[in-house]
Structure 1
Amino acid sequence: MLRRKGPSRLLLIFSTLLLGGCALNGPQSIFDTAGPVAASQADLFVYIFWFAVFVFVAVTAALVYAVFKYRRRGDDDGSVPDQIHGVAWLEAAWTVAPAVILVLIGFPTVRLILETESRVEPGQQDLVVNVTGYQWWWEFEYPELGVTTANELHIPTGRRVVLNLNSGDVLHSFWVPRLAGKRDLIPNQDNQLWLSADEAGLYRGQCAELCLGAHAYMRMRVIAESEAEFSAWANSFQQGGAQQVQAQVGTPQLEAGKALFKTKGCANCHAIAGYAQGQAAPDLTNFGVRTSLAAGVAENTPENLTNWIRNPQELKPGNLMPTLWAADDPKRDEEVAALVAYLESLGTQAPPTASVQARR
C-alpha cells in the first residue's frame, strides 16, 4: 500500500505546482488583455480551445467505449470476432468532421492574421517608433519627435502605434503579451508590428527569441499614458528640456559624476543628449525619469544603480557592460556615488538637493 501511495503523492505535488503556475491575470498574461490586438488574439485562442476540448472528449469517449465494449471476457471461446472491412457512414463521418472543424477554425484565423499582422501604412494619427534589438537591450527611436531612448517605450493610450522592427546583431523577438503577439526582429530585414493600449498603465515585455548570453534578462517596459502625459514626456527630450537640465550640473558631486562619465569610458558606449555620442549601448538621455535599469531587470533606484555600476554581472549575468572599478580601489565607492548622482539627475526638473552617499 505504501508503494502505491508514492506515485499518487508525486502526482498530487506535481499537479499542485503546475496549477500554482497558472494565472489569468499575471503581469505578462495573454488572457489579461489591454489592447485590441491582444484581445482579438485571446478571443481566437479561446474559440479554438473549445474545438480542441470537443475533439479530445469525443476521441477519448470513443476510445474508452471501444476498450470496454470489446474487451476480452472470461467466457470468451477464443474464436476470432467478426472482421469488419469498412463502414461507409463511419469513414465519411471521421473524414467530414475534421474538415468542418478545420474550416471553422481556419476562416477566423486567416481573417485575424490579415487584420492584425499585415503591413500597414501609418496614418496621421498613428505614432511611429523604430525598434532595434541588441544583445541584450532595446532601442526606441521616435523619428517624428526626434527622440531616442532605450528599454522603456512610452505610448499614448487610444492611438495606434506602428513599430518598425529590426535587429542590430542576432535574431530577437518583440513581445508585450498584454498588448499584442510577438514579432521577430531579423538583421537587415524590416519587419512591422502595430499595437494600441486601451488604458494607461505599465506593461511588461521581453525578448521571445533565444539570443544567447543574457537573453533571459532582455526585458522592456511599455508605459501607456494620456496624450498630455506623453507629450510632456516627449517634450522633455527637446532643446531647452533635457539638454538644459543635463548641462546645468551644480553640486560638486554632480560635477564629479559628469566628468567620470567620460573619464571612466561610459561615453564611449552610451549617449546623453548634448554631452556624449556613444552608440554601442543604451541611450541614457533622461535616465533619471526611467522606472527601470539594465533593460527592465531592476527598478531604477540609487541603490540598484549603485549595485549595477559596481558589479554589472551580479545583477545581469552575461551582459556586456564592464566592471569599471577594482574591488580594492580606494576611490570606488566615492566615484560610484558621484556617477549615480549624475545619472539620476538626468531629465529631472532640477538637480537633486541631497547627494548620494558613498556605499562602504
Structure 2
Amino acid sequence: MADVARLAGVSGQTVSRVANGRLNVDAATRARVKDAMRELGYRPNGAARALRSGEFRSIGVIVFELSTFGTTRTLDAIATAATARGYSVNLMPVLAVSRQAVADAFSRLGEQAVDGVIMMIEAQILDEVQLPTGLPVVVVHAGLHYDHPVVDADQTQGARLATEHLLELGHRTVWHLGGPPSSFAADQRRRSWEQTLRDHRCAVPELLIGDWSSASGYDAGCRLAADPDVTAIFVANDQMALGVLRALHEHGRKVPDDVSVVGFDDMEEAAQFWPPLTTVRQTFTDIGQCSVDTLIAHLHDPSPHTALAVPTTLVIRNSTAPPRRVAY
C-alpha cells in the first residue's frame, strides 16, 4: 500500500479507501490509485481485511449424500446465490454421519475461516448428532424443531397435492413408493400421503420402500404391476418413478390407462419420460437462495428464526388420468 501511495502521490489512507470500495474519494484520485495498483500488481489482502473486519465473506456447506438429485441442485443454487452476494463457498462432504464426523467438519470449516455454515444432512440422521456452537448455522432439508433456522420445500403440501390429484381423478385409493426411512423428506411425504388418504376416508395400502434409485423403483414397480387392484401410484421421487414406469410397461399395464403415476421433484428429464411424468415441483433454486439469504441475515441478527417452507406445485402431464376400470 505504501508503494501504491508513493506512485499515485496520495496517502496510504486514500489507498485503503479505494481498496475497500469507499466512496469518499474523488474520481480522478481513484483512477490514479487504481492505475498505480495495476502497474505494481497490487491486490488487496482479503485475509488481512477479514482480520480487521471480522468478516471472511465465506460460507461453509456441510453435506451428506452429495450425489442425490436434490442435493446437487440445491448446492448449485447455494453457490450461485452466495457468489451474487459476494461470498465464496467452502464445501465439506461428510461420508459417514456421526456426532464426531459433524463435529470434525465444523472444526475444519472453523480453521478455514468461514462466517457461517449451511447444513445439508437429512433430519433423521441429524437428530443423532449435537450441532456444535460458535458459528451461525442454517439447516436445509431437515426437521423443524432445531434452534437454528431451517429451510426446506413444503414436503407435506407436495405429497398432499399428489395424492389429492389422483383421488380427484376418481381413483379409490393411492399406493405409495416411499424413500429410505433415514430421509426426513421421505418421512414427511409418507406421513402426508397417509393423512390425506385418511382425511378422504380412503383405505391406506401397504407402503413400499425404495432408496431413491430408478432400480429400486423398478423392483417396487414389478410388485405393484402384479396387483390388478393398483390403479394409482404416488412415487417419492422422479428417479424411482422412472423405474416404476418401466416395470408397468414390461408387465403390460398401460400408463395412464391402467395405472396413473405421480413423481416428486420435477427433474428436467421428467417431461421427457414416456409418458411425460406428472410430478410435484420443488424449486431448488428458491431453497438455495433462501438458505444463503437466511444465513447472511443470521450473521447480523442472531435472534431465533422461524422455519421457512418453500411452496411446492403440482405439474400435470400425461402419466395421470381417470381410472379406466377399478377392480376391488
**Range into which the TM-score falls when normalised by the shorter chain:** under 0.3
Bigger relative CO (Cα 8 Å, ≥ 6 apart): 2
Higher helix share: 2
TM norm structure 2: 0.28
